[in-house]
Amino acid sequence: MKTFILAVMALSILTALGCQNTNGQDTKRKLSKPAAEWKKTLTSNQYHIMVESGTEPPYQNEYWKNHKKGIYVSAATGDTLFTSDDKFDSGTGWPSFVKPVDPKKVAIVTDNSYGMSRDEVIEKSTGLHLGHVFDDGPADRGGKRYCMNSGALKFIKKP
């Protein structure tokens, strides 16, 4: 039983780090406007996630279990980034997608936080943090998992 509890704790820590970043310290991105300007237009949670490259807790965010049909737009710009047709349950506790609607709307930059190298997903037009992309998505749908923060997105339900 002790081994099982330790394994669950280790898995929880690794899962929490799966989409996390450390305030953008190791990323190579430039914001389209100063952080002070973003602070005026974003909520405190959106600012923490998108400007400071924060993350939200797994299984405790708005869209991880959203199964409604619609689109996911940037919380900062309103640009369409993902669609419910490309969303899947990754078991990580964050909304996960196999691809963006338009690959030209996002950019991938290297994130070397936590002593590991990951691919950070940013909104190309703004430089704002959205989440990370991993190579453990559904193989039959391209093999990618775009692990996004709900706080970086807004959901628009399909009529």
Q: Domain containing 15 — which CATH number? A: 2.170.150.20
- Cα-Cα-Cα-Cα torsion 137, 125, 19, 25, nearest 10 degrees, comes to 140
Tally of structural domains, the chain: 1
| Set 147, 148, 152, 153: catalytic member | 147
The CA-based diameter of the chain, rounded to the nearest angstrom, is 52
Q: What separation in angstroms does the CA of 13 have from each of 18, 121, 153?
A: 9, 21, 24
Backbone φ and ψ of 35, nearest 5°: -55, -35
Res 3: pLDDT: 52
Structure tokens given for 124: 């190309």
Query: What are the residue ranges of helices labelled H in 18-135?
Result: 35-41, 44-50
Q: Does residue 147 carry a catalytic annotation?
A: yes
Q: What pLDDT was estimated at residue 30?
A: 85
Q: Please give the structure tokens belonging to residue 92.
A: 């990580």
pLDDT at 2: 52
Residue 65 is predicted with a pLDDT of: 96
Residue span of the structural domain in which 24 resides = 2-157
pLDDT at 17: 46
Q: 65-69: list long-range contacts, CB under 8 Å, 24+ apart.
A: 65/89, 66/95, 66/155, 68/155, 68/157, 68/158, 69/157, 69/158
Task: Enumerate residue ranges in the chain where pLDDT < 50.
Answer: 4-18, 20-27
